[in-house]
Amino acid sequence: MSIEISNVTKTFDSFQALKDINLTINTGELVALLGPSGSGKTTLLRIIAGLETPDQGNIIFDGEDNTEKSAQDRKVGFVFQHYALFKHMTVFENIAFGLKVRPSKHRPSKEAIQQKVQELLSLVKMEELAKRYPAQLSGGQRQRIALARALAVEPRVLLLDEPFGALDAKVRKDLRRWLRKLHDEYPITSVFVTHDQEEALDVADRIVILNQGKIEQIGTPEEVYDNPVNPFVYHFLGNFNLFHGRVHNGKVELGSLKLDVPEHAGTKNKEIVSFFRPHDIDISLEAGGRDDIEAEILFIRAVGPIVNLELKRLENGDYIEAEISKEVYRKLDLKEKQKVYVKPRDFKVFIPEDYVI
């Protein structure tokens, strides 16, 4: 089922949580709402579920306006951040709840409910734990039960609020993969909220980046990561290095470093900020040309396949972070306090008066 969010605005007291949000989520998509806390992402999710009413705007499911419908009638599956399992019910009863509370003429038979719950328990791989109470489960298990409970009512949409937020790193990663796999097997339209860019990039088909109640960018993980539309998105989607400089007639000057930026060919003498990712940096021991930046290695962390370097730009003391492969690191035989030449392979230039970060 597709979800269309049109012109949605929401204010809490004096705080404007959402400002004129427009977004279409296609049938079968897995979309991440990504943003820092207070960006309005959870509010948007709750408005889609009917747990919150928008001040203005409409929520349309498959062309049908659902704005006035209550949460009870929307047939959405909602997985809460802290699971919200029913404490006084067993795992089985939790999953069966949505089917048991149906009006008698729509309620499946006892056997049918039993079968459905068993099916879901095996889907989340927790058949043995049917008789346990939520208090007796680990965080990851609770999360899976919350998901099974939401799926039991065969929802048209699955909404997940920070689904892995309260779990430790290892379990997070496993569950993340598992959710992706589940979605590939059961392609139900799903929206999840997260503040973790890695999670969004890893799981989602498309990412919606929210900031201060507004959508900054919508796109596939590749699109938003490779072509962030503004400094905020660049900033939010991973580690970065930032240089201040000037742009004039298609050339960026970052101190002595001069780079070509054809997209700013018409810009005359403006201040800019330039971003580049730590993994988009080439390091060499000898000066290759005028594009190189002279830097000193301050610190090396060589754990795992990627080596993190912290460098200081000698010209002005700017701090540079770099990620290089272990092979390159070994080949260059880098040491702390060593002088090297650094060259950004790929970078983005933004004119800051257009944006505020």
Partner 1 sequence: MAGSTHGRIIQDNQKKLNHSSGRNSSKAVEILLIGAVLFVFIIILIIPLISVFLKAFEQGAGVYIASITDRIALKAVRLTLITMGFAVVINTAFGLTVAWAVAKFKFKGKNLLVTFIDLPFAISPVVAGLIFVLLFSTTHGVTAPLLNAWGIKIIFAPPGIILATIFVTLPFVARELIPLMEAQGTAEEEAALTLGASGWKTFWFITLPNIKWALLYGVVLTVARAAGEFGAVSVVSGHIRGLTNTLPLHVEILYNEYKFSAAFAVASLLTIIAILNLVIKNISEWKINKQENT
Is 242 near partner 1 (CB under 8 A)? no
DSSP state of 112: H
CB nearer partner 1, residue 43 or residue 197: 43
The minimum distance between CB 148 and partner 1, in angstroms, equals 12
DSSP structural state of residue 353: G
d(CA 95, CA 114): 10
Does 69 bind partner 1 (CB under 8 A)? Our answer is: no
Looking at the Cβ atoms of 94 and 211, the one nearer to partner 1 is 94
Tokens of 29: 């998509």
72 contributes a contact to partner 1 by CB under 8 A = yes
Look-up: residue for tokens 């088909």?
205
Percent composition of the chain: helix, strand, coil (DSSP 3-state, to 5): 30, 35, 35
User: C-alpha distances in angstroms, 227 versus 71, 206, 235, 236?
Assistant: 37, 14, 12, 13
- Residue 343 forms beta bridges with which residues? 282
Strand partners, 297: 311
With contacts defined by CB under 8 A, how many residues of the chain interact with partner 1?
29
Interface residue with partner 1 among 1, 60, 84, 166 (CB under 8 A) is 84
Q: How many Å from the N-terminal Cα to the C-terminal Cα in the chain?
A: 36
Asked if 284 is part of the footprint of partner 1 (rule: CB under 8 A), the reply reads no
Cα separation, 311 vs 281, in Å, equals: 12
**71 lies in the binding site for partner 1 (CB under 8 A):** yes
Q: Does 150 bind partner 1 (CB under 8 A)?
A: yes
Bridge partners of residue 192, in order along the sequence: 32, 160
90 binds partner 1 (CB under 8 A): no
Does position 285 interact with partner 1 (CB under 8 A)? The reply is: no
Which of 56, 82, 287, 319 touches partner 1 by CB under 8 A?
A: 82
Span interacting with partner 1, options 65-73, 113-121, 208-216, 291-299, rule CB under 8 A: 65-73
Site for partner 1 contains 76 (CB under 8 A): yes
Q: Which residues contact partner 1 (rule: CB under 8 A)?
A: 49-51, 70-78, 80, 82, 84-88, 97-98, 101-102, 133, 135, 149-150, 152-153
